[in-house]
Structure 1
Amino acid sequence: MKEYVISFYKHYFGAGPTGILATIIIWIGAKGVGETIHLPALPLGETPRAVLVALFLIDSAVTIVWSLVALPPKERSVRMVRSGPFKLVRHPLYSAVIWSGTGAVALWLKSWSVLFSVVPISLFWTWHIRDEEAFMVEKFGDEYRDYMKRTGQFFPIFRREKREQ
């Protein structure tokens, strides 16, 4: 029974909940470091800051919904998707937390240190999802390896397409 619960959890949620918890802990730690070393607040007025926070939250919501439409939870690890947000990055849900989440929290808290925490957060997520990536390689083989070469984990890879002559 215990193995079924773990398997069910991993299938539907992957590294998401534990990764989000760790991300929140990193944000809190970064805010504390910024206060300890007396970093100045982000120099934005209330209106521009509120607009940017709203844009980051909208971006996050759109990315999450778009991801769930492109790959519903019941189809995870059953089929490989390379459309929708998955055309741009391999892990769009995690990307929303890393990039838009960190941006929104940094602006909300007016914190340079939270803004810069995107670096350790990205490194953490790269480490945290290694089992997911290994599972996908095992499940889909060369198809997933090729997909890995063409797309970034959390940030799109922009390449110029070679023109045929």
Structure 2
Amino acid sequence: MLILFMLLNMGSQIHLLDYRVKGQIEHRQDAIEVHALIGALLLLVLVSRIVWAALFKTQIPRNLIQNKLHSCFISVIQFLLYAVVFALAVSGVMMAGESELSLHLLGVEISSPDHKNIKQYSQLREIHLFFISVFWWLIGLHVAGAMYAKR
């Protein structure tokens, strides 16, 4: 749910606000800072989930998958979901570092507009958007796999 909120909230904060209240740059800054804060929280949850699973081997009982190909497919999709969320966090941090805006996360400056490379920012943005698309496809495959397993 946090991921879906993050993906859908960014557009609403940037595109559906009355910029006359604070100004376009301040609204954009606020939206990006909220997005970054949720992204940091998501990364913390992801790392906590991985560490928890490594420390405590007791897991929720799951249906045994008889088909080896399906079992392999499940493992690959799960790994890719984790990898893409991590890649989104990394590319987001790199984008924030190259942002032309001054960005703060919990009072700490994470980006200053000095010495920015707009071409590198554009490339990082394309990579970030690519990972978002891949993430949506993986969610679709995950849902399809869950439906297939429940049949």
Q: Structure 2-normalised TM-score?
A: 0.33
The structure, 1 or 2, with the larger RCO (C-alpha pairs under 8 Å, 6+ apart) is: 1
Q: Which has the higher strand share?
A: 2
Q: Structure 1-normalised TM-score?
A: 0.31
